[in-house]
Amino acid sequence: MASSDTVTSTEYIRHHLTNLTFGRHADGSWGLAHSIEEANEMGFLAIHVDSVLWSLVLVGLFLWLFRGVAKKVTAETPNGTQNFVEWIIDFIDENVRGLFNAKNDFVAPIALTLFCWIFLMNLMDLVPVDLLPWIFDRTGVAHFMKVVPTTDPNVTFGFSLSVFAMMLFYSVKIKGVGGFLGELTLQPFEAKNPLIKVLFIPVNFFLEIVGLLSKPVSHSLRLFGNLYAGEMIFILISLMFGAGAVLTVFGGALQFVWAVFHILVITLQAFIFMVLTIVYLDMAHQHH
């Protein structure tokens, strides 16, 4: 807790922002990091176990819920869960129809999966910041435990790079290699004179490749930045608990207000990530 005599505010914040990391120790052995310094020393090959764990748990929850509804679906007397799932599917389908102008039956399932999976990850931000870390620490399972996977840039970059790979795949598949390279080299500057057109190629390529590579970067950092900031605010508010009765009451009220507002943030960020995915895939299917 933040009020502990042996834990400073800085140590408390650093602890809550450190992932449960598995990697190679300085002596060459492999295992979990038991301190922030050990986690930082493990380098690029380290695995954030908590991010992987909660990502799998949440996608498993999504699949279990939707598969269970699909197996019991009925048109006569649908229950509340079926109505809720059908509402989400209709919402996703409406956005895909409005934003995606080509024909690809794979886009709607991608959008549905991304929206629900990212929303569930973001929703973990509403779990009290001390609850699960305290449980895992007291049971001896793990000293660190970050429970919001989207506050880990590795997760958000994993999503955005997957979307980027699909974007490149469909760009080449729909337009061909020549058509895709033509988009990168023959626009935005055009000319009828062949010599001038050739001179424009490196300029066009530079402008287009920067725009292309910026898509996965901005796609991932937007989600990461918003969720990381939200989690940081929750951590800062939790420092008030145990600092006196007045600050505890004020912190509790402030945390409730921020949690209510944060529901909008986590939903909006999942929606934005899904919408940008649809837009990027639509761009990959368009001929210029």
* Strand, helix or coil for residue 253: helix
Which pTM value belongs to this model?
A: 0.89
Residues designated catalytic: 218, 222, 226
CB burial of residue 205 (10 Å; 0-12, 13-18, 19+): middle
Rounded Cα distance between 206 and 204, Å, is: 5
Helix axes 153-185, 194-238, angle to 10 degrees: 170
Helix or strand run (H / E) with residue 172:
helix 153-185
From CA 242, how far away is CA 20, in angstroms rounded?
Answer: 26
Q: Which of 237, 228, 47, 40 is nearest to 130 (CA)?
A: 237
The Cα 38–Cα 30 span in angstroms is 11
Cα gap 65→277, rounded to integer Å? 23
Cβ-based neighbours of 161, under 8 Å, separated by 6 or more: 216, 220
pLDDT along the chain (288 residues), means of 10: 59 88 88 88 89 95 93 82 92 94 92 96 90 86 89 95 96 91 86 84 91 94 93 87 77 86 93 96 86
Helix (H, G, I), strand (E, B) or coil at 103: coil
What is the DSSP code string of 175-233? HHHHHHHHHHHS-SS--SSHHHHHHHHHHHHHHHHHHHHHHHHHHHHHHHHHHHHHHHH
Task: Categorise residue 241: left if φ over 0, alpha if ψ from -120 to 50, beta otherwise.
Answer: beta
Q: What is the enclosing helix (H) or strand (E) of 30?
A: strand 30-32
- Measure the CA angle with vertex 58, ends 266 and 278; round to 5°: 55
Do residues 32 and 13 lie in contact, with contact meaning Cβ atoms separated by under 8 Å?
no
Q: Which two tokens stand for residue 283?
A: 């761009």
Radius of gyration of the chain from its Cα atoms, rounded to whole angstroms? 23
8 A C-beta contact, residue 61 and residue 124: no
Q: Is 271 exposed, middle or buried (0-12, 13-18, 19+ CB in 10 A)?
A: middle
CB 29: neighbour CB atoms within 10 A? 7
pLDDT at 6: 61
Pull the structure tokens for residue 158.
Answer: 């994993």
